[in-house]
Structure 1
Amino acid sequence: MGTPGNISAAQDEPICVGVVFGGPSAEHEVSAASALAVIRGLRGTRFRTVAIGVGKDGLWRLPAAETVEKAATTKHEGPAIQDRLTAEGPLVELRHGGRLVSSDSPETVVEQLDVVFPALHGPYGEDGVIQGYLEALGVPYVGAGVGASAVGMDKVAMRRAFAADGIPLVPGVWCTRRQWQHDKDPLEAEGALPWPRYVKPASMGSSIGVSRVDGPAELTAAVDQAFLYDDVVLVEEGINEARELLVGVIGDADEVEASVATERQVRGGLSDYDQKYVSGATVSAPAEVPDEVAAEVRELSIRAFRAIGGEGLARVDFLYDEAAGKVYIGEINTMPGFTGLSAFAKGWAASDLPWDRLLVRLIDLAFARQAVARERARRLELAAEEAR
């Protein structure tokens, strides 16, 4: 798939990329690590990056350029989650057209952003909230639009979209907080799904709030923990001995491309927050699976991307039941993690698209979407004039 219009290469001046990170969600630290990896990937290119941190209080701050530069050029030793930026600095606000102004002096434009890379995960950043804000301000941005972000973040809505397209899903049930408190058996806990089971908040990422449950005695505590993060909880069947395969997807409504499959190998059967970002799960690319399985997960990834109306990028996660020869889709992530352990980046590197070129592709997709929107607005204006 070619770069759509190669818009970012058409300008003479460096393109200013606002890399927004942090946010009020439980994935604040993961986002801060992703943002630093994005900034590193754009170093040495014709892009100029501006890091913008969103505090857990929701306020936007502008970290000092020298602090960001030091972090970007320092070799980190230790857990990937600790290699991150900090949402500190003077308060700023984003205005229409990409003007970043000082909160203390709104007439002072401190930066003029050409495009935003929202390296945000979880609620606020991956659920359509920041995307809607950027749409309202007329600022192009990397990644899925409002609708796809909202569906991709909500595991129940996502499952409905996949089921409508006939995509094989991990068996599961869900309930609201009120149903859990007042209904006799809202999750059909006895006999509905075999053990083990995985209990998840419906709208959360990075395995936060996720528990493995091996029997009925553990279910209530796991559900209560998941409800700390969301008002809807999903319980899925644990496919015994399943292998975790992940596929990166990039594209737009017309052209979509899938990376080779990667495999994440964890200890204890649960790909949790600690193994993803602290102790370090093993990610291999490409995954050593039969050719027909590799082809199937790539094809299903493209279907999943289109099922939610995806744009820009996503990572689609699968469970491969090797003994049964079956593949099940787990979920789609419309803004996957970009830390040093990123399966998304490794999958594309193994597909001959290294990190710096991948970031350029994503930014070009953002500009291309804006160009399509402007052309649509122009056609509507012409049609209105002709009708008058």
Structure 2
Amino acid sequence: MDKPAVVVLFGGRSSEHSISSATAGGVLRAIDRERFRVIPVGITREGAFVLEEDDPDKFTLDPAHMPEVADNGTRILWPEAAGEHGLRVRQVDGAIDDLGDVDVVLPILHGPHGEDGTIQGFFDTLELPYAGGGVLDSALCMDKHFMKIALQAAGVPVAPWVTVRKREWSGDPDATADVARRAAAFSFPWFVKPARAGSSVGVSKVHGPEELAAALEIAFAEDDKVLVEEGLRGREIEVGVLEGRGGASDRASLPGEIVLTTREFYDFEGKYLGGDGVDVVCPAELAGSEIDALQRMALEAFEAVAGQGLARVDFFLSEDGPVVNELNTMPGFTPISMFPKCWIASGLTYSALISELVDTARERGAA
């Protein structure tokens, strides 16, 4: 019990449950056991907090059998009052076991109910230190509509878009035509995406007006607010950002690049299921001036949303310079994901990157 205790929290109620679980497998395998005592806590798709096995192999990313948090009958009992850090678990037979004090929660959750400020507010209320984004930046970046507004207000360029709400679109041809009229100034292709989802879930590439209705239907199945964006032309570049520690400035990683060969766009299959047609390259082949511009804008975007902990800033590098596509406050964090790859290329190991997030959270909690 002399080591700092880290709750690795994963799963969740969103459509990205399995990706979060796969990320947990990588984190559980790589976290520094010499420094930290690890408590794996899973959230089932129904929202139950359960004590999980400390077994990385259980959560290996397998396209044929995606990992999942099953309800094993245990229930995590969080501290009952602010200032208390004791964690307990109610076993299946009703017995309650003490798991000791928690020093940091590492919420590797993606999507609603985890990456949107809700779980962050819960831990703020309990006064439990946690890694990653806070309430404000998590909520802003989860909602692509408000994220774009915040970035625009700070002078950070974003792709042109219109926002469509479910109540405005009934699915009939007239409603679809009205959306098309609102986006008429955009050149094709368009991207239609849920405002509050990630991992390219519910995203479609639209080549003409005839494809818009089907794309809206797919996106509205994930969220009642949808963005129609102009598809920008340029290289797809991603930069990792880490919050500065001890009064130091925030840091930006070397950029990585998503290189599409035969795939239309970087969709869910290409990201996680080993689909052909995409290469993840880090570091990207860029001129020094391009690297400087991307890193500078990544830090500006992080500041614009009051970022804390970490973020991955996604760009299109056009002929006129970089344009921010989005920020992810808990980006894909498997060992093969872009965020770790960028920091590994910048000199941090995967294990050291996890330690960096935990140490930053501990410092913030102490302050």
The letter of the residue matching 2:119 is: I
Q: Does 1:234 align with 2:227?
A: yes
Per the alignment, in what secondary structure is the counterpart of residue 318 of structure 1? strand
- The structure 2 residue matched to 1:315, chosen from 290, 307, 312, is 312
Unaligned runs of at least 5 residues, structure 2: none
The letter of the residue matching 1:94 is: W
Question: 1:44 deviation in Å?
Answer: 4.1
1:62 and 1:88 in contact (8 A); partners too:
no
Question: 1:107 deviation in Å?
Answer: 5.4
Q: Does 1:293 align with 2:290?
A: yes
- The structure 2 residue matched to 1:209, chosen from 196, 199, 202, is 202
2:361 aligned partner: 366
Unaligned runs of at least 5 residues, structure 1: 1-11, 373-388
Q: Distance in 1 between matches of 2:131 and 2:70?
A: 20
User: Where do 1:28-177 residues align within 5 Å?
Assistant: 28-65=17-54, 68=55, 70-71=57-58, 79=63, 84=67, 86-89=69-72, 90-96=74-80, 97-103=84-90, 105=94, 108-177=97-166
The letter of the residue matching 1:29 is: S
Question: 1:99 deviation in Å?
Answer: 2.7
With the length of structure 1 as denominator, give the TM-score of the two structures.
0.85
Q: Does 1:243 align with 2:226?
A: no
1:199 and 1:223 in contact (8 A); partners too:
yes
Cα distance, 1:70–1:329 mapped onto 2, change above 3 Å: closer
Per the alignment, in what secondary structure is the counterpart of residue 157 of structure 2? coil
Q: Distance in 2 between matches of 1:369 and 1:110?
A: 23
2:43 and 2:69 in contact (8 A); partners too:
no
1:31 and 1:119 in contact (8 A); partners too:
yes
The letter of the residue matching 2:231 is: G
Cα distance, 1:352–1:190 mapped onto 2, change above 3 Å: closer
Cα distance, 1:196–1:329 mapped onto 2, change above 3 Å: same
Q: Does 1:277 align with 2:267?
A: no
| 1:181-206: CA deviation from partner (whole Å, max 9, x where unpaired) | 39672453562211110000000000
With the length of structure 2 as denominator, give the TM-score of the two structures.
0.89
The letter of the residue matching 2:251 is: E
**Deviates most, 41-50 or 337-346:** 41-50
The letter of the residue matching 1:152 is: C
**Deviates most, 90-99 or 258-267:** 90-99
Per the alignment, in what secondary structure is the counterpart of residue 235 of structure 1? strand
2:29 and 2:56 in contact (8 A); partners too:
no
Q: Percent identity at matched positions?
A: 38
| 1:115-160: CA deviation from partner (whole Å, max 9, x where unpaired) | 1000100001100011011111111000011011000100011000
- The structure 2 residue matched to 1:257, chosen from 247, 251, 254, is 251
- The structure 2 residue matched to 1:357, chosen from 346, 352, 356, is 352
| 1:78-122: CA deviation from partner (whole Å, max 9, x where unpaired) | 65x967463443222222433332346585423432210001000
Q: Distance in 2 between matches of 1:150 and 1:210?
A: 20
Cα distance, 1:87–1:313 mapped onto 2, change above 3 Å: farther
2:11 aligned partner: 22
The letter of the residue matching 2:218 is: Q
Question: 1:283 deviation in Å?
Answer: 1.2
Question: 1:269 deviation in Å?
Answer: 2.8
Cα distance, 1:77–1:188 mapped onto 2, change above 3 Å: closer
**Deviates most, 115-124 or 363-372:** 363-372
Question: 1:320 deviation in Å?
Answer: 1.5
| 1:279-324: CA deviation from partner (whole Å, max 9, x where unpaired) | 2542111101222211111111101111111100000000112xx2
Per the alignment, in what secondary structure is the counterpart of residue 338 of structure 1? coil
Q: Distance in 1 between matches of 2:43 and 2:307?
A: 25
The letter of the residue matching 1:102 is: V
Cα distance, 1:288–1:259 mapped onto 2, change above 3 Å: same
Question: 1:28 deviation in Å?
Answer: 0.1
